[in-house]
Amino acid sequence: MSMALSVRAREVAPFLAMEVMERGMAMAREGSPVIQLGVGEPDFDAPPEAIAAATQSLACGETHYTDSRGLRELREAIAADCLRRRGVRVDPDQVLVTNGTSPAILLTLSVLVNPGDEVIMATPHYPCYPNMVAVCGGRSVLVPTRPEDGFLLDVDRVRAAITKRTKAILVASPANPTGTVQPREVVEALAALGVPLLSDEIYDGLVFEGSEVTSPLGMLDDCFVLDGFSKRYAMTGFRLGYVIAPKSAMRALQSLQQNLFISVAHFVQRAGVAALEHGQPHVDHMREVYDQRRRRLVEGVRALGFGVPRAPTGAFYVLADARHLGAGRRPDPSTDSASLSLAFDLLDRAHVALGPGRDFGEAAEGFLRFSYATSLDAIDEALGRLERALA
Ligand SMILES: Cc1ncc(COP(=O)(O)O)c(C=O)c1O
Atom of ligand 1 nearest to the CA of 40: 14
Is the distance from the beta carbon of residue 108 to the nearest atom of ligand 1 less than 6 Å?
no
Q: Which residue, 262, 279, 296, sits at the end of a domain?
A: 279
Instruction: Provide the residue range defining the domain that includes 309.
Output: 7-33+282-390
**Do residues 232 and 306 share a domain?**
no
Q: Following DSSP, what letter does each residue of 30-72 receive, concatenated?
A: TT---EE-SS----SPPPHHHHHHHHHHHHTT--S---TT--H
Sign of CA dihedral 249, 242, 129, 198: positive
**Do residues 214 and 342 share a domain?**
no
**Do residues 382 and 267 share a domain?**
no
**Whole-number pLDDT of residue 207:** 97
**Do residues 293 and 274 share a domain?**
no
**Do residues 155 and 272 share a domain?**
yes
Number of domains making up the chain: 2
**Do residues 247 and 312 share a domain?**
no
CA of 93 to the centre of ligand 1 (A): 23
In the chain, at which residue ranges do the beta strands (DSSP E only) sit?
Answer: 35-36, 95-98, 118-123, 139-144, 166-172, 197-200, 223-228, 241-244, 317-321, 352-353, 355-356, 367-371
**Whole-number pLDDT of residue 1:** 61
Is the distance from the beta carbon of residue 102 to the nearest atom of ligand 1 less than 6 Å?
yes
**Do residues 161 and 261 share a domain?**
yes
Q: Which residue, 279, 308, 339, sits at the end of a domain?
A: 279
Q: Is 41 inside any structural domain? A: no
Q: Is 223 inside any structural domain? A: yes
**Do residues 60 and 183 share a domain?**
yes
Is the distance from the beta carbon of residue 200 to the nearest atom of ligand 1 less than 6 Å?
yes
**Whole-number pLDDT of residue 2:** 77
Separation CA 242–CA 101 (nearest Å): 6
Q: Is 211 inside any structural domain? A: yes
The residues, ordered by sequence, that sit 6+ positions from 90 with a Cβ below 8 Å of its Cβ are 79, 82, 83, 217, 244
**Do residues 155 and 249 share a domain?**
yes
pTM: 0.96
Q: Is 292 inside any structural domain? A: yes
Is the distance from the beta carbon of residue 202 to the nearest atom of ligand 1 less than 6 Å?
yes
Q: Is 163 inside any structural domain? A: yes
Is the distance from the beta carbon of residue 374 to the nearest atom of ligand 1 less than 6 Å?
no
Q: Is 44 inside any structural domain? A: no
Is the distance from the beta carbon of residue 70 to the nearest atom of ligand 1 less than 6 Å?
no
**Do residues 301 and 259 share a domain?**
no
Q: Give pLDDT tens digits along the chain (391 positions).
A: 678 898 888 888 888 888 888 999 999 999 989 999 988 899 999 999 999 999 999 999 999 999 999 999 999 999 999 999 999 999 999 999 999 999 999 999 999 999 999 999 999 999 999 999 999 999 999 999 999 999 999 999 999 999 999 999 999 999 999 999 999 999 999 999 999 999 999 999 999 999 999 999 999 999 999 999 999 999 999 999 999 999 999 999 999 999 999 999 999 999 999 999 999 999 999 999 999 999 999 999 999 999 999 999 999 999 999 999 988 887 887 888 899 999 999 999 999 999 999 999 999 999 999 999 999 999 999 999 999 999 9
**Do residues 135 and 188 share a domain?**
yes
From residue 360, give the alpha-carbon distance in Å to each of 53, 62, 169, 221. Answer: 36, 40, 17, 30
**Do residues 127 and 18 share a domain?**
no
Is the distance from the beta carbon of residue 178 to the nearest atom of ligand 1 less than 6 Å?
no
Atom of ligand 1 nearest to the CA of 203: 1
Here the CATH number for the domain that contains residue 272 is 3.40.640.10
Q: Which residue, 279, 300, 332, sits at the end of a domain?
A: 279
CA of 131 to the centre of ligand 1 (A): 13
From residue 176, give the alpha-carbon distance in Å to each of 208, 318, 364. Answer: 15, 9, 12
Q: Is 177 inside any structural domain? A: yes
Is the distance from the beta carbon of residue 359 to the nearest atom of ligand 1 less than 6 Å?
no
